[in-house]
Amino acid sequence: MNTSIKTLLFLAGAAMAMALSALALSAETTLNAVRIRYMGPILDANLPEWKKARPVAVPMLPQMVATPRHLNPVVRELKVRAAHNGHWVGVLIEWKDPTQNDRIVLDQFGDMVAVEFPIGAGKDALPNPMMGNPGGRVNILQWRAAFQHDIDAGEPQLRDLYPNAMVDLYPDQVLRATDARPYTGALGVDNPVSRPTASPVLDQMAEGFGTMTVKPDQRADGRGVWEKGVWRVVITAPMATGNPNSPHFIPGDKTVVAFAVWDGGNREVGSRKAWSAWVPLALAR
Helix (H, G, I), strand (E, B) or coil at 10: helix
Query: Shortest CA distance to 97 belongs to which of 79, 124, 120, 74?
Result: 74
Report the 10 Å Cβ neighbour count for 71: 8
Residues 6 or more apart whose CB falls under 8 angstroms from that of 216 comprise none
Phi, psi at 9, each rounded to 5°? -65, -40
- Residue 34: other Cβ atoms inside 10 A: 18
pLDDT in tens, 37-90: 998 899 999 999 999 999 999 999 999 999 999 999 999 999 999 999 999 999
Query: Bridge partners of 59?
Result: 77
- Give me the pLDDT at residue 95, please: 98
Inter-residue contact 63 to 85 (CB < 8 Å): no
Minimal CA–CA distance to 122: which of 260, 34, 25, 219? 25
Q: What is the mean pLDDT of residues 185-211?
A: 88
More confident residue, 10 or 39: 39
- Give backbone dihedrals phi and psi of 117, rounded to 5 degrees, phi first: -125, 145
Condensed to tens digits (0 to 9), the pLDDT of residues 156-195 reads 887 887 888 888 888 888 999 889 888 888 888 888 778 7
What integer pLDDT is reported at residue 16 of this predicted model? Answer: 52
- CB 222 within 8 Å of CB 215: no
**This model's pTM is above 0.75:** yes
- The CATH topology of domain 3-155+196-283 is Immunoglobulin-like (2.60.40)
Q: Which class for 156: exposed (0-12), middle (13-18), buried (19 or more C-beta within 10 A)?
A: middle
Please give the pLDDT value at position 40.
86
Q: Give the three-class secondary structure for 244.
A: coil
Average of per-residue pLDDT across 125-144: 96
**How many other CB atoms are found less than 10 A from the CB of residue 221?**
22
**Residue 200 binned pLDDT confidence (cut-offs 50, 70, 90):** very high
Measured CA to CA, the distance from residue 175 to residue 111 in angstroms comes to 37
